[in-house]
Structure 1
Amino acid sequence: MTLATLSEVLQPALKQGYAVAGLVTLGWEDMRAFVAAAEAEDVPVILQAGPSCREHTPLPILGRMFRHLAENATVPVVAHLDHGYTAEECQIAIDSGFTSVMFDGSRKPLAENIAQTAAIANLAGQAGVSCEGEIGFVGYSGGENSAGTDPEEAAQFARETGVDAMAISVGNVHLQQDKEGGLDIDRIRSIEALTTVPLVIHGGSGVPVAQRTALARTSSVCKFNIGTELRMAFGQALRDAVNADPTRFDRVQILKETHDPVVAAARRVLQAFKGA
C-alpha cells in the first residue's frame, strides 16, 4: 500500500530539491492515467479532487477511487481535497479517506483566514491527515484578478495555522492555457526567507517548464498544481478518438483511447519536477 499524506511526500522533496505534482482529476480515466505516469517515472503523485470534480462525483466515491489506486500503486499516492471552502467539506473528505485537505480561505480577511485554516489544520492533524492553506489570492484567467502574497503575512499565516503546505500568489493564475507568463521570483525568495513551510503553486499549467524545474530544484516550492494542460491533453485525445470513427457509440471503447496520450502528457509534466 502506498497511500501517503501530503507531508510525507513534500518534506523529502523540500530537503532533496525536487517537487511533487498535484494533478487535478475529473474522473476515473484521468486519475488512472496519472498514477500510471507516476509509476513510469517512479515519482510520487498527488491526486486532487477540486470543486468541478466534486460536482460530478461525491467525495465518498472519490475517496474510494483514490485509495483503490493508491493501494495498488508502486509509488506514493496522496488523496487530496483541492480548494475546500468549508470545514464541513474538509470533514467529509477526511471521513471519506482523503489523506490531505486544502482549505481555501484566501478570499477572507487575514485574521479570519488564519483562524479558520488553523481550526481545519487541527482537525486534520487529529485524524492523521495533512492540511494545505492559501495566503494571497490566486486569480483565474479571464476572471477574478490575483492579490499577491505579502511575505510578512505569509510568515504569520504559516506560524499561526500550523499548515503542512502553503499556497501562495506570486504571478500564478488558474486556468491559464499558455505558458507566456512567469512567476515573481523575488517575491518567492522573500517568502521562503521567512518560513520553512513547503510552498505550493496553484495554476502551474501557466508556468514555463524551465521555471518549474528551476524552482523545484532551488526553492521551497515543492508542489505544483497542474490541471489545465492535462485537461487539454485529455480533450484532444477524446476528440481524436471520437472523430476516428463517427459510427462508434460505446463510450468505454472511446475512453480507452484517451489513456496512452494522457499518460504521455502527465509523464512530461512529472519529468520537469525531478531533482538534478
Structure 2
Amino acid sequence: MTLATLAQVLRPANALGYAVPGLVCLGWEDMRAYVAAAEAERAPVILQAGPGCRAHTPLPILAAMFHHLAETASVPVVLHLDHGYSLDDCRAALDLGFTSVMVDGSNLPLAENIALTAAVAKIAHAAGASCEGEIGFVGYAGGAASAGTDPKDAARFAAETGVDAMAISVGNLHLQQSAGAGIDLDRLRAIEAATAVPLVIHGGSGVPLGQRATLAATSRIAKFNIGTELRMAFGAALRDGLARDPDQFDRIALLRGTEAAVTEAARAVMRNLGASGRA
C-alpha cells in the first residue's frame, strides 16, 4: 500500500519546485484512470471525493474504492475529502481511512472559519491525517462570485488553524471550461510573503497551462485541483465511442472505453505541473 497524507506529498513539492494534482473523482473509471496515469508518470496523485461525487456514491463505498486503488499502486496516493462543510463531514472521512480532509469554511466569517478549520485540523492530525482549509472564497464560472484572499487574513488563518495546506482565492474559479485571465500574481506574492504553508489552487482547469507550469515551479502553490478538463476528456471519449458504435448498449464497455483518453489527459496534467518522476 502506498497511502500518503497531503503533507507528505506537498512538502517535497514546495521544496523541489513542482505541484501535485488533486484530481476530482466522479466514478470508478476516472479514479482508476488517474492512478494508471500516476503509475505511468511515476508521480504522486491526490484522489478527491467532492460533494458531487459523495452525493452520487456513499462515502464508505468511495473509501473502499480509493483504498483498493492505493493498495495496488506503487506511487504515493492521497485519499482526500474535498469540500467537507462540517466537523462531522470530516470526521466521517477520517473514520473511513481518508488520509486528508479539506474543510470549507470559506463562506463563514473569519473567526468562525478559523474555529471550524482548527477543530478539523486537530482531529485530522490526531488520526495521522492532513487538513486543508480555505481562506477567501473561490467562486464558480457562471455562478457565485469570488472574494479574493486578504494576505493579512491568510496569515492569521494559517497561524491559528495549523492547516497543512491553504486554498486561496487569487483569480481562480471553479468549473471553468477554458483558460481564464489567470492568477493575480500580486495577491499571490503578498500571501506568500505573509505565510509559510503550502498553497492550493481550486479551479485549476481555468488557469492557463503556461502559468500553471510556471507557478508549480516558482511559487509556493503545491497543489492544483483539476476536474473540469478531465470531465471534458471523459465526455468527449464517451461521445466518440457512441458515435463509433451506435449499437453498443453495455455500460461497462461504454465506460471502459473512456479510460485511455482520461488517463492520457491526467498524464498531461502531471507533466505540466512537473510531478512526473517524483514518486
- TM-score computed with the length of structure 1 as normaliser: 0.98
Residue 261 (structure 2) aligns with:
261
Looking at structure 1, the residues matched to 95 and 79 of structure 2 have their Cα atoms a distance apart, in angstroms, of: 12
Answer whether contact 2:44 2:275 (CA < 8 A) is retained. no
Distance in structure 2 (CA, Å) of the matches to 1:260 and 1:217: 28
Report the counterpart of residue 7 of structure 1 in structure 2. 7
**TM superposition shift of 1:219:** 0.7
Residue pair 1:238, 1:258 contacting (<8 A) in 2 also = yes
Task: State the shift of 1:180 in Å.
Answer: 3.1
Partners of 1:188 and 1:180 lie apart in 2 by: 16
Letter aligned with residue 53 of structure 1: C
Pairs within 5 Å for 1:74-85: 74-85=74-85
**Cα deviations across residues 35-85 of structure 1 (Å, max 9, x unaligned)?**
111111111000000000000111111111111111111110000000000
Distance 1:164 1:264 in 2: 30
Deviations 1:215-245 (A, max 9, x none): 1111110000000000000011111112211
Structure-2 residue corresponding to 1:106: 106
1:216-231 residue pairs with structure 2 within 5 A?
A: 216-231=216-231
Deviation (angstroms), 1:275 = 6.5
Give the 4+ runs in structure 1 shifted more than 6 A: none
Q: Which residue of 2 aligns with 1:60?
A: 60
Instruction: Name the counterpart of 2:162.
Output: 162
Could you tell me which runs of 5 or more consecutive residues in structure 2 were left unpaired when the two chains were aligned: none
TM-superposed deviation, 1:190:
0.5
AA aligned to 1:194 is: A
Q: In the alignment, is the contact (CA less than 8 A) between 1:166 and 1:197 conserved in 2?
A: yes
Between the aligned partners of 1:54 and 1:26, the Cα distance in structure 2 is: 8
Instruction: Name the amino acid aligned to 2:202.
Output: H
Superposition deviation, residue 194 in structure 1? 1.1
Asked whether the 8 Å contact 2:205–2:226 carries over to 1, the reply is yes
Q: Distance in 2 between matches of 1:4 and 1:217?
A: 22
The residue type paired with residue 204 of structure 2 is G
Q: Which residue pairs with 1:215 in the alignment?
A: 215
Unpaired stretches in structure 1, ≥5 consecutive residues: none
C-alpha contact (below 8 Å) 2:171/2:184 kept by paired residues: yes
**TM-score under structure 2 length normalisation:** 0.97
Report percent identity of matched pairs.
Answer: 68
Aligned residues of 2:43 and 2:275 also touching (Cα < 8 A): no
Post-superposition offset of 1:196: 0.8
Give the aligned residue type for 2:177.
Q
Deviations 1:202-221 (A, max 9, x none): 00000001111111111110
- Counting only pairs closer than 5 Å after superposition, residues 1-276 of structure 1 correspond to structure 2 as 1-274=1-274
Q: Give the root-mean-square deviation of aligned CA atoms.
A: 1.0
Contact 1:2 1:73 in 2 (8 A): yes
- Partner of 1:55, secondary structure, is helix
1:25 to partner: Cα distance? 0.4
Counterpart CA distance in 2 for 1:180 and 1:91 is 35
